[in-house]
């Protein structure tokens, strides 16, 4: 049952404390409880900056329900849409301060906050997403055929064949097709939606319809006059180039899109207009075939096209951008020593300062002179916070899992630094089990992140790599940000080039040695290692190089490095990290140096392999091969295959099964009694 906003305010006041950590209790965070926790969407601020819309999703009785809430600045929350069965209400927007919109079953609805009645105002002919509203205009993304309307795209061809002359035939979990994402706009007058206009239709024609212009992201100025979007320039062979450009286009379609990032061949991201619409900022990698290069802040004058690089000497990689109201500052989230901190950057001087110093922030939005954002930490799930820019004070507006986590233990991260490869300081942290007793011995689970140019963060994730899930299963959960990880400067990130099984492996082994030498409560004879993607590669490399683990878990990992190049979809990735192509005699030794397959005779540790059928980054044979190897050698091995998953395990029911199989595996080989039943 949900109540309109005005009724809710008359009857209910929810007080939200500044701290939402739940680390004082002892009941373990078990698999069922973890997956029943609510997940919160990014904040959507009302035009008068007094209210915030957000989505909330929860999993119950094998069904995920997503609905929309509104919260005011006093922390009073009201449910706006129903929550029943598998219904999904998403993409909330504001039409004005008292009227909202949202997508439901691919229809756009409007609804007054003081009413529970919604009216469908737009029923598009094909699926749409990323809807926004500016000054009487709707904007949205739809995948359409070349120069086609939504209605024309609805008509399907008679056959289903896909024919390719371009090497980039698939990406992540989709085969390239003639339907590509495009930015559309339509006038909204008296709740009547006018004819849709494809704002990309004036881009030059490319001969291959399956590799034509493809839009990645967009934003629109507050005046509703100019849109900026990201697009990958169509080329004959896109799979070894990362170039993504920033374009602007008049929202009335009166002119063709104009390339703003001209002369820069790397990947662009995060376009953002200033409040007055006069300036456009974005993030830019300047290396043309490296997806993990340092992102630099660029600001362009929309009228003249004059562009400057802001804070060019900053050895950090911003992740997002939003302008201050006065246009003097940019706010950005930066990976910072295992945290995702909010920084304020002075546009004129390039001076930057942190506004948060711990945990993980995301989805930063302007709220008057303050900010509103999502924030989590190792011991606290994501909630919406208001951040005072002047003082740095952060106050929670929501605490959506507070009741569910009463009497539940969620451990905080205990950070450590040690001397790793190259003599560099390396950062990691551990999370202890509930009821921890330093006089006892505990098994250890080493969680190895993917990327590899990513990092573990102090955050509460809803994926398969939340350290508190392993701690609640009775393990000391350890996470180490080895060489190649982001958030420690670009040199540290770049150091993994041609060193996949070198520096990172040394860091992991040296980090474990450090912990074992420092903490008598770690049972060195009962350790396991688990990883996904690059982490799965590292698990296979460990199997080839070490005997110190009782069991291993490799999710969507890599067994054959040369075969990775031949079967993956983003060739720029291995060509950068291994310095060439594997058929080149000069580069082949770099592919073989840290190739687990080359050391197949050494594999002897029991391993659980997990793979999704639709993973085109690391194909299924990369798990089938080492599984076959171990079984043929008589070593315990198990294969968990998800026919409906990709590089990740996204479906909640599959995630439950994932954790069940993993905990059964690692508890069996470490002789650990779990604190709850897996049945």
CA torsion sign for 122, 123, 124, 129 is positive
Element (H, E) at 202: none
Cβ contacts of residue 11 below 8 Å, gap of 6+?
A: 3
Rounded distance between C-alpha atoms, residue 537 and residue 561, angstroms: 9
Q: Which two tokens stand for residue 305?
A: 């096209």
Q: Of 570, 591, 356, 306, which Cα lies nearest the Cα of 458?
A: 356
**CA proximity to 533, closest of 640, 649, 428, 426:** 649
Widest CA span in the chain: 75
Residue 340: CB atoms within 10 A of its CB come to 24
**578 within 8 A of 560, measured Cβ to Cβ:** no
Catalytic residue among 274, 533, 623, 655, which? 533
Burial 581-618 (b: 16+ CB within 10 A, else e): bbeeeebeebbeebbbbeebeebebbbbbbbbebbbbb
Q: How far is CA 361 from CA 192, 264, 457, in A?
A: 38, 29, 10
The residue annotated as part of the active site, out of 269, 615, 623, 667, is 615
Helix axes 621-633, 534-545, angle to 10 degrees: 20
Please say if 647 is a catalytic residue. yes
Q: What is the residue whose two structure tokens read 């009782």?
A: 550
Ordered DSSP codes for 115-184: -S-EEEEE--SS--EEEEEETTEEEEEEEE-TT--HHHHHSPPS------SSS--EETTEE--S-EEEEE
The reply to whether 563 belongs to the active site is no
* Residue 533 annotated as catalytic: yes
Annotated catalytic residue: which of 104, 360, 647, 667? 647
Please give the positions annotated as active site: 533, 615, 647
């Amino acid at each position: 049952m949900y109540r309109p906003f005005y009724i809710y305010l008359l009857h209910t006041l929810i007080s939200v404390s500044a701290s939402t950590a739940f680390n004082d209790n002892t009941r373990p965070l078990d698999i069922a409880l973890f997956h029943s926790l609510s997940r919160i969407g990014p904040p959507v601020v009302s035009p008068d900056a007094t209210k915030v819309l957000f989505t909330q999703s929860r999993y119950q009785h094998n069904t995920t329900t997503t609905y929309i809430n509104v919260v005011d600045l006093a922390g009073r929350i009201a449910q706006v849409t129903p929550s029943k069965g598998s219904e999904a209400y998403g993409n909330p927007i504001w039409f004005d301060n008292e009227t909202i919109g949202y997508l439901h079953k691919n229809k756009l609805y409007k609804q007054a906050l003081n009413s529970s009645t919604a009216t469908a105002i737009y029923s598009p002919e094909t699926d749409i997403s990323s809807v926004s509203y500016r000054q009487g205009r709707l904007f949205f993304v739809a995948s359409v055929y070349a120069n086609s309307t939504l209605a024309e795209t609805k008509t399907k061809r008679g056959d289903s064949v896909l024919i390719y002359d371009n090497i980039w035939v698939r990406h992540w979990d989709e085969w390239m097709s003639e339907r590509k994402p495009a930015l559309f706009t339509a006038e909204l007058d008296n709740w009547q939606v006018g004819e849709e206009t494809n704002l990309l239709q004036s881009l030059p024609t490319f001969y291959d319809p399956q590799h034509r212009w493809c839009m990645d992201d967009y934003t629109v100025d507050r005046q509703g006059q100019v849109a900026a979007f990201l697009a990958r320039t169509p080329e004959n062979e896109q799979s070894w180039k990362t170039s993504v450009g920033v374009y602007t286009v008049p929202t009335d379609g009166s002119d063709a899109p104009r390339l703003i990032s001209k002369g820069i061949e790397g990947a662009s991201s995060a376009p953002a207009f200033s409040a007055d619409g006069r300036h456009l900022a974005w993030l830019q990698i300047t290396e043309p075939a490296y997806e993990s290069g340092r992102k630099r802040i660029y600001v362009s004058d929309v009228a003249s096209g004059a562009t400057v690089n802001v804070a060019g000497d900053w050895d950090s990689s911003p992740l997002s951008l939003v302008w201050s109201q006065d246009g003097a500052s940019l706010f950005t989230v930066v990976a910072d020593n295992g945290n995702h901190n909010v920084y304020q950057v002075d546009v004129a001087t390039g001076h930057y300062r942190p506004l948060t110093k711990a945990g993980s922030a995301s989805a930063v939005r302007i709220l008057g002179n303050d900010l509103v954002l999502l924030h989590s930490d190792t011991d606290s799930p994501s909630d919406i916070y208001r951040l005072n820019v002047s003082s740095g004070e952060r106050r929670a507006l929501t605490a959506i899992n507070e009741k569910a986590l009463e009497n539940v233990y969620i451990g905080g991260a205990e950070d450590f630094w040690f001397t790793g490869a190259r003599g560099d300081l390396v950062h990691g942290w551990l999370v202890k089990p509930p009821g921890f007793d330093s006089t006892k011995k505990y098994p250890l689970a080493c969680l190895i992140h993917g990327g590899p140019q990513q990092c573990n963060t102090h955050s509460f994730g809803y994926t398969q790599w939340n350290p508190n899930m392993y701690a609640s299963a009775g393990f000391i959960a350890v996470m180490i940000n080895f060489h190649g990880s982001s958030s420690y400067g670009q040199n540290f990130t770049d150091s993994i080039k041609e060193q996949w099984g070198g520096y990172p492996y040394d860091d992991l082994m040296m980090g474990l040695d450090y912990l074992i030498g420092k903490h008598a409560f770690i049972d060195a004879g009962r350790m396991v290692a688990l990883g996904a993607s690059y982490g799965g590669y590292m698990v296979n490399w460990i199997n080839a190089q070490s005997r110190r683990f009782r069991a291993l878990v490799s999710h969507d990992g890599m067994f054959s490095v040369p075969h990775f190049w031949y079967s993956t979809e983003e060739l720029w990735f291995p060509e950068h990290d291994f310095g060439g192509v594997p058929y080149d005699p000069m580069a082949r030794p770099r592919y073989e140096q840290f190739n687990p397959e080359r050391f197949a005779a050494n594999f002897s540790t029991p391993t659980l392999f997990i793979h999704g059928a639709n993973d085109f980054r690391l194909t299924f044979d990369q798990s089938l091969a080492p599984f076959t190897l171990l079984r043929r050698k008589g070593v315990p091995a198990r294969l968990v295959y998800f026919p409906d998953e990709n590089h990740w395990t996204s479906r909640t029911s599959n995630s439950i099964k994932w954790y069940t199989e993993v905990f059964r595996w690692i508890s069996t080989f470490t002789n650990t009694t779990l604190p709850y039943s897996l049945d």
